[in-house]
Structure 1
Amino acid sequence: MSWSGIGVAAATLGLALTVATPSTSAITPEPVRANQDLPAMYDKGCQQNMQSAHVTSCRYGPGAARTTIAVFGDSKMAQWLPALERLAPRHGWRIVTYTKSNCVPADLLTTLSGNPYTSCRQWVRKVLNRLTGPDRPDLVLTTHRHSASGVGPLDEQRRAVRDALVATWSRLRDSGVPVVVMADNPSPPRELTVWKCVAEQRPTVSPCAFDREQGIDFSAAPVQRAAVIRAGGPARVDLRTGRRTQPAVAWVDLVDAICPGARCSPVLHGLLVYREGSHLTATFVRALSKDLERALLAAGVPSAASDGIGDPTGQSRRSARSAGSR
């Protein structure tokens, strides 16, 4: 599979749902039911809990899929499954899930409630063995929530997460697996439970909005972006030739679709944006399917439905693997 096209993410494309301004009298899902509006993978037991280091995964997409995408992360990665499920048949994507609650998808020791989160690191190492082994995917799509390790001063914690992400992505790339990093979405302040605020304030929901830049700062996006830059991506312009260089990792950021204004609205186009914490509702994620589709294709993810984007048959990749195993 050719990956010369993998590149910069689509935040700069100004992607956003082009639907009329919503009336807050009708909101989907109902705010009091927000925490039930989850990806179906939870009911299927596809996400690992915080106790176990056993690798649990589920597969989505057509049986004859041409591109295998491994989604690797925590519940913030899992939240995108409703959109990925919708896109998989059209583009010939097989989606394989590797998610674990509250677990940074990088090989480092983090803490959970003040205690070493050893099952997370054990799980990450097992997943990486799969992702770099003989049955490795065609690419890894990854994101997560936590930007600090929980060990040491905050700046050192963030640097530790950044460096561990870079090392993890480097291992994947060295095994021939491209990496696409999704920016964590803006996070509400801890004191704001968005769905509860909307339920109490409707039909006026403006008190439930929050500052976009603060929301980005509260998320893992700044650490993720720093890691992408440190890893050598996204694509750069060679000053000698004027050509764009192939990025080390691709960067996808849907912030303009999730929070198109200076303040992040809790309701967009009649849809409730947030459920628990900073998680997006499954209903809202499905509505972002076209935005995610454009962003992933702009980043170079192959599509069986698009001519000239990668190698839709996947034959070059399989041939290379076969040759390497002889």
Structure 2
Amino acid sequence: MSARGGRVRPVGLGVLVGALLLVALSGLPTAIAGVPSDDGRVLQAAGCHEGVEATEARECLVVGGKRSRPLVMLFGDSHAAQLRPALEEVATRHQLRLAQLTKSGCPVAVVDSLGGRVDPHPDCTSWRKSALAVIRRMNPDTVVVASSYHYQDLQSGEGSAASVADYFKTWRSGFRKTLGSVTAAGRPGVVVVRDPPRFGNDLAACLAEKPGKSGVSCGLSRSEAVNDTNRGVWSVETAVSRGMAKTVRLDLTDEVCTSSFCSPVDVRGLPRYFDGNHFAGDFSVSLWPSVSGALAKVVRMPPSKVDGLTAQRSRGRLLLKWRKAMPGSAKNLSYRTTLTPQRGWRSKGAKSYACSGRKARCRTGRVPANAVYKVSVVAVTAAGASIPLKASTRKLK
């Protein structure tokens, strides 16, 4: 499979989850009870994700499709890789292609960290240069960049350990260099994603003792989970990216936190995190509407596929309802719905029906009792039409 002239290595499975979640400053993560270690989405992400030792980036297409479809590139370290399930959901629903360039312990910004070694992390430096070359070669329509903000062994420009002030100064310089390189590569759109709230390394142990909804007590105050380093680096990235053409920022903090408290579990008691600082796969998927909204600002994309279709019979008529689609990059979302009698029902007097309009519903005229219809619902904007939702009323409630 190819993408804009480049050879693409397909996604593989069977890679250890640890390879995905290795972070330079904190070592291998500990899996949380309730999040299966063989989480399919996490393993799939590892198929494109590189470990610490990798020195050369490779083209890896997660979601393919026609070359006419916009190509989105995910770029960064393991904190970028955790967004892959959300982006895959967006790409599938909105008819985009998705490629992944991620490596453990290697932030987007052109900075040096020891990576747990005596000398600066040469594998990261060479990999990042290679990754930028891949971006130029694949020429994506949009690049999504994300990194951990917590590299305790970050080196200053003078080659010594960065102080607090040096940390932000060094990150600002390195982030500006990377964004300059990315935007120069065919001037794609850019989505800068804030590093999410961070919990302690003891989160796994805490949630093992307090499963389900009681896990909320393992949370932290917002000021602890979103600490000074997070706020400082986000301020730097915001300042650098503000004013750049086709560049937007995505802050997912409120998906985890209230105004004062951050919880590692949702209202159902399901874990949001795989370890103390990486999203669980299912939680990442649930973030797709927020990610969709950000991408829609920088890349042309049709509406998402409709879901949640239901059918009710009342007074001899059918009423179809569905959840509203995400509009993509254009406004004035509308729907086209058709109902076609299945074989045998036309001879019994069943007629075809069609609806169009902005409401997420369609009401038919009178239909024979128990008549079965094939249903198709398409969301439409000026940016295009969604993938049709197709169903049979036999299977709808």
Tell me the residue number matched to 1:177. 188
Contact 2:45 2:85 (8 Å CA) reproduced: no
Q: 2:104 aligns with which of 97, 101, 104?
A: 101
> Which residue identity does 1:225 align to in structure 2?
S
Instruction: Give 1:67 shift.
Output: 0.7
* Worse-superposed segment, 176-185 or 31-40: 31-40
Q: How does 1:33-72 map to 2 (within 5 A)?
A: 33=35, 35-37=37-39, 39-44=42-47, 46-64=48-66, 66-72=69-75
Per the alignment, do residues 129 and 92 of structure 1 end up closer, same or farther by CA in structure 2, a change over 3 Å counting? same
Query: 1:223-256: per-residue Cα shift (whole Å, max 9, x none)?
Result: 13312313434xxxxxxxxxxxx75631111111
Query: 1:203-228: per-residue Cα shift (whole Å, max 9, x none)?
Result: 63343010112212266453133123
Tell me the residue number matched to 2:145. 142
Contact 2:250 2:294 (8 Å CA) reproduced: yes
Structure 2, unmatched stretches of 5+, are 1-30, 156-160, 304-327, 332-380, 385-397
Q: How does 1:268-279 map to 2 (within 5 A)?
A: 268-270=266-268, 271-279=270-278
Query: 1:67-97: per-residue Cα shift (whole Å, max 9, x none)?
Result: 1111000111111111111121222211110
Instruction: Give 1:311 shift.
Output: 9.5
Per the alignment, do residues 230 and 183 of structure 1 end up closer, same or farther by CA in structure 2, a change over 3 Å counting? same
Contact 1:186 1:218 (8 Å CA) reproduced: no
Instruction: Give 1:159 shift.
Output: 1.6
Does residue 1:90 correspond to 2:99, yes or no?
A: no
Tell me the residue number matched to 2:198. 187
Per the alignment, do residues 268 and 56 of structure 1 end up closer, same or farther by CA in structure 2, a change over 3 Å counting? same
> Which residue identity does 1:179 align to in structure 2?
V
Query: 1:277-301: per-residue Cα shift (whole Å, max 9, x none)?
Result: 210100111122223223332x433
Instruction: Give 1:117 shift.
Output: 0.7
Instruction: Give 1:63 shift.
Output: 1.2
> Superposition RMSD on alpha carbons, in Å?
2.7
> Which residue identity does 1:198 align to in structure 2?
L
Does residue 1:252 correspond to 2:250, yes or no?
A: yes
Tell me the residue number matched to 2:207. 198
Instruction: Give 1:201 shift.
Output: 2.4
Tell me the residue number matched to 1:31. 33
Output the CA distance in 1 between the equivalents of 2:228 and 2:280.
Answer: 19
Query: 1:141-186: per-residue Cα shift (whole Å, max 9, x none)?
Result: 0101134424332321232122101111012223312221011100
Output the CA distance in 2 between the equivalents of 1:231 and 1:99.
Answer: 21
Output the CA distance in 2 between the equivalents of 1:294 and 1:156.
Answer: 34
Query: 1:44-67: per-residue Cα shift (whole Å, max 9, x none)?
Result: 3x1111112021342122412611
Contact 1:185 1:221 (8 Å CA) reproduced: no
> Which residue identity does 1:277 align to in structure 2?
G
Contact 1:187 1:218 (8 Å CA) reproduced: no
Instruction: Give 1:196 shift.
Output: 2.2
Per the alignment, do residues 166 and 278 of structure 1 end up closer, same or farther by CA in structure 2, a change over 3 Å counting? same
Query: 1:283-322: per-residue Cα shift (whole Å, max 9, x none)?
Result: 111122223223332x433213346389959xxxxxxxxx
Q: Which has the larger radius of gyration?
A: 2
Contact 1:32 1:196 (8 Å CA) reproduced: no
Tell me the residue number matched to 1:308. 330
> Which residue identity does 2:176 align to in structure 1?
V
Output the CA distance in 1 between the equivalents of 2:206 and 2:226.
Answer: 20
- Any idea what SS the aligned residue of 1:112 has? coil
* Worse-superposed segment, 63-72 or 97-106: 63-72
- Any idea what SS the aligned residue of 2:174 has? helix
The higher-RCO structure (CA 8 Å, 6+ apart) is: 1
Output the CA distance in 2 between the equivalents of 1:226 and 1:157.
Answer: 11
Runs of 4+ off more than 3 Å: 32-38, 218-222, 306-313
> Which residue identity does 2:330 align to in structure 1?
G
Tell me the residue number matched to 1:7. none
Contact 1:35 1:276 (8 Å CA) reproduced: no
Does residue 1:79 correspond to 2:102, yes or no?
A: no
- Any idea what SS the aligned residue of 1:286 has? helix
Structure with the higher fraction of residues in strand conformation = 2
Instruction: Give 1:197 shift.
Output: 0.6
Tell me the residue number matched to 2:24. none
Structure 1, unmatched stretches of 5+, are 1-28, 234-245, 314-326
> Which residue identity does 2:279 align to in structure 1?
L
Contact 2:45 2:84 (8 Å CA) reproduced: no
Instruction: Give 1:98 shift.
Output: 0.2
Structure with the higher fraction of residues in helix conformation = 1
Output the CA distance in 2 between the equivalents of 1:40 and 1:126.
Answer: 24
Tell me the residue number matched to 2:217. 207
Tell me the residue number matched to 2:358. none
